[in-house]
Amino acid sequence: MTVSQRTFEDMGVHLSDVTFCVLDLETTGGSPADCGITEIGALRFRGGEPDGTFQTLVNPGAPIPPFITVMTGITQAMVIEAPPVEEAIPAFLEFLGDAVIVGHNVRFDISFLNAAAERLGYGRLPNRSSDTLTLARRLCRNEIRNLKLGTLAAHFRSPTTPTHRAFDDAAATAHVFWALLERAGTIGVTHLDDLLALKTARGAPSYKKIGLTDALPRRPGVYLFKDRTGSVIYVGKAKNLRSRVRSYFYGDERRTIHTMLRELEAIDHRVCANELEAEITEVRLISAHVPRHNRRSKPPKSQHWVKLTSEKFPRLSLARVQKEDGGTYLGPFRSRKASELVMNAIWDAVPIRRCRGAAGKRQARCAFDQLGVSVCPCAGDVDEATYATIVERVRRGIDEDPALLLDPLVDKVTAHAREQRYEEAGWVRDRHRALARAIDRRRSWRVLQEAGMLWAESSSGDGALIERGRLAAAWGGGEQPPLLAPADLEDPAPQTPPTVAVAEEAHLVWRWLETNETRIIDCSAPLSLPVHPVPSLERLDAA
C-alpha cells in the first residue's frame, strides 16, 4: 500500500474540505526503538463531519510494564488475543489514507507509527500532521495552567474525558482540535497551509498584522508592502500570493524581516496570468519604486558597460553610457566591479592593448607589452594589419564564436590547477563565468530584438507575447492568446539593453523560452539562433 505526498498546491485547500484523522496510541514505553504499541484509537472527519472510527488493542509481542498497566489499565491478558502489529498497522494505514494526522503531542504517536511501518516495508508516513499541543500553545496558553490533554479537554468542555485509553483520548483530542480551529479562524487561518504554518507563527506585535493578508488570492502575482506614508518598501513575487505573504509572519527570524514587518501598514498586490508575468512585473515595479528593503534587486545608482573602442588601435574601456559610436558593447552591469571582471577575462584570453596612450608616442614599450600580456602599439612597432587580427578575434568572440575567448581561459585554469596554483585558478574560473554570462545575455538580447513580436507557449499552456525582448501580454493555461500584430522593425536593434532592469527582463524572458519546454507559435520576423553556442563550464569544472 502506498500513500502519495500532498503537494504544496494541495495544501491550499480550505479546511472545510480537508480530511482529518485524529488519533492516539498507547504504548509499552517512550521509545519506538525498544517499545511497542498496545492500542490504537482514531476518528476520521471529512468536511468537518464524522467519517469513520478505528479502535483496536495490539499485541506488542513483549510484556507490558506494570507502571503502564497502572496508567492505562491495559493488562497483559487483554492483549494476548489482540492482533499483532503486523496485522494492526496495515489495517490502520488503509483507514488513514491521505488524511492529515491530528494528535496531542502528535510527534510521539507518529514516531511509533513510522517505526512500525518501516519495519513492515511501508516506509515512513507521508501524511501532513497538526499538533493540538502546539496549537494550544499559540492560541490559548495564557488562559490555562498547563497544556495537558485533560486540562484542555476540561477547558473546552469536551464530552469525553481523557482516560489514557486510545479511543477516549482521540475523541477528547478531536473536540479540542475543533475548538482550536474555531479560534484560529478568527486570525485568518482558513486553509490547510495556514494551519500547518501556524505552529511557527510570530507573536505580537507583528503577527497581529497578518490580517492584512486576508484579501490576497491564491494565485500567481506580485505583492507590495507599504508603510504608513503609502510608500512601497518591498516588492516580491509569488506562485501563491496568500501563502507567500503569510509566510513572513511564520517564524522568519531575520532582522531585516523584523524591521520590514514593523514598518508594514498595508499590502497591495497584482494578480498575474502566469509566473513569467509575475517575475517581470516584479522587476518593473522594483525599478519604478526602488523599495528600500529590496536591497539585492533594486536598480543600481549607475550602470557600466565594457566597450571595445572604434579607434585606430581599439582597446577595452569601461563606459557609463551606451552610444552609437561604432564600438562593441557588453553589459549593462550592476557595478563597476562586475564590468571589470569581464574586462579582465578578455584581457586574459586575448593580448589586446591595455595602455591608453596614443600609438607611436612612447619611446619604449609599455609595461604590459614588456610582460608579454598584450600587444601594444604605443611604441609604434606594431602595424595595423597585425593588430587588426587581435581585434577581430575579440569581435568574433563576442558576436559569433564565444570559444575564441572562453577556451583560452579554460586552458589557463587547467594550467594553474596542474601547478597547484588553486587561488589563481579560481580567479580565472570566475572571470570565465562572468564573460560567458555576459556574452550569452548579449546574444539572447539580439535574437529577441531581431525576432520582433514573438508568440510562445509553455508545455503547461502558459503563454506570452514578447515584443523585442519585453513582455507585451501573458495568459494562463486554457486562456486564449491575443492577436499577433506585426512589429515595427525599422529602428535598428541596440547592441545591448539600455538599462539593467530591461536586461533582467530580457533574461527572464529568454530563460522562460529555454527552460519550460516552450514552443514558438509565431513571430513577426525570422528567429535566428547563433551558430556557435556559448561553451558550458563542463571542461572548466573537470579541471
Please count the helices (runs of H) and the strands (runs of E) in the chain: 18, 15
Cα–Cα distance, 196 to 129 (Å, whole number): 8
Q: Is the pLDDT of residue 481 over 70?
A: no
Q: Is 532 a catalytic residue?
A: no
Q: What does residue 217 show for φ and ψ, rounded to 5 degrees?
A: -85, 165
Q: Is the pLDDT of residue 484 over 60?
A: no
480 pLDDT band (50/70/90 cuts)?
Answer: low
Region 347-368: mean pLDDT is 78
342, exposed or middle or buried, with CB in 10 Å at 0-12, 13-18, 19+? Answer: buried
Q: What does residue 56 show for φ and ψ, rounded to 5 degrees?
A: -160, 145
Cα–Cα distance, 6 to 130 (Å, whole number): 14
The pLDDT tens digits for 373-420 are 888 887 667 888 889 999 999 999 999 999 999 999 999 999 999 999
pLDDT at 138: 85
Catalytic residue among 14, 104, 155, 164: 164
Cα–Cα distance, 132 to 20 (Å, whole number): 13
- Domains of the chain, first to last: 10-193 (3.30.420.10), 201-289 (3.40.1440.10), 304-437 (no CATH), 442-523 (no CATH)
Region 160-171: mean pLDDT is 96
Tell me the three cell numbers of residue 454. Answer: 514573438
Cα–Cα distance, 34 to 117 (Å, whole number): 15
Sheet with strand 304-308: strands edge to edge:
316-319, 304-308, 328-333
Cα–Cα distance, 208 to 249 (Å, whole number): 9
Cα–Cα distance, 49 to 413 (Å, whole number): 67
DSSP classification of residue 113 = H
Q: Cα–Cα–Cα angle for 217, 242, 186, nearest 5°?
A: 100
3-class DSSP assignment, residue 487: coil
9 pLDDT band (50/70/90 cuts)?
Answer: very low
Its pTM stands at 0.71
Task: Check if the beta carbon of residue 278 is closer than 8 Å to that of residue 240.
Answer: no
pLDDT at 6: 46
The region of weakest confidence among 82-91, 189-198, 288-297, 480-489 is 480-489
Q: Which amino acid is at 349?
A: A
Task: Check if the beta carbon of residue 233 is closer than 8 Å to that of residue 267.
Answer: no
pLDDT at 1: 39
Task: Check if the beta carbon of residue 152 is closer than 8 Å to that of residue 195.
Answer: no
3-class DSSP assignment, residue 503: helix
pLDDT at 252: 63
Residue pointed to by grid coordinates 513575487: 237
* Nearest partner of 39 among 61, 52, 55, judged by Cα: 55
User: What residue spans of 305-421 are helical by DSSP H?
Assistant: 336-349, 367-371, 384-399, 403-418
Q: Is the pLDDT of residue 541 over 70?
A: no
> What is the biggest distance separating any 2 CA atoms in the chain, rounded to whole angstroms?
108
3-class DSSP assignment, residue 57: strand
4 pLDDT band (50/70/90 cuts)?
Answer: very low
The pLDDT tens digits for 84-139 are 999 999 999 999 999 999 999 999 999 999 999 999 999 999 999 999 999 998 88
Cα–Cα distance, 195 to 185 (Å, whole number): 9
205 pLDDT band (50/70/90 cuts)?
Answer: low
462, exposed or middle or buried, with CB in 10 Å at 0-12, 13-18, 19+? Answer: buried
503 CB-near residues (< 8 Å, 6+ apart): 331, 332, 441, 445, 496, 497
504 CB-near residues (< 8 Å, 6+ apart): 283
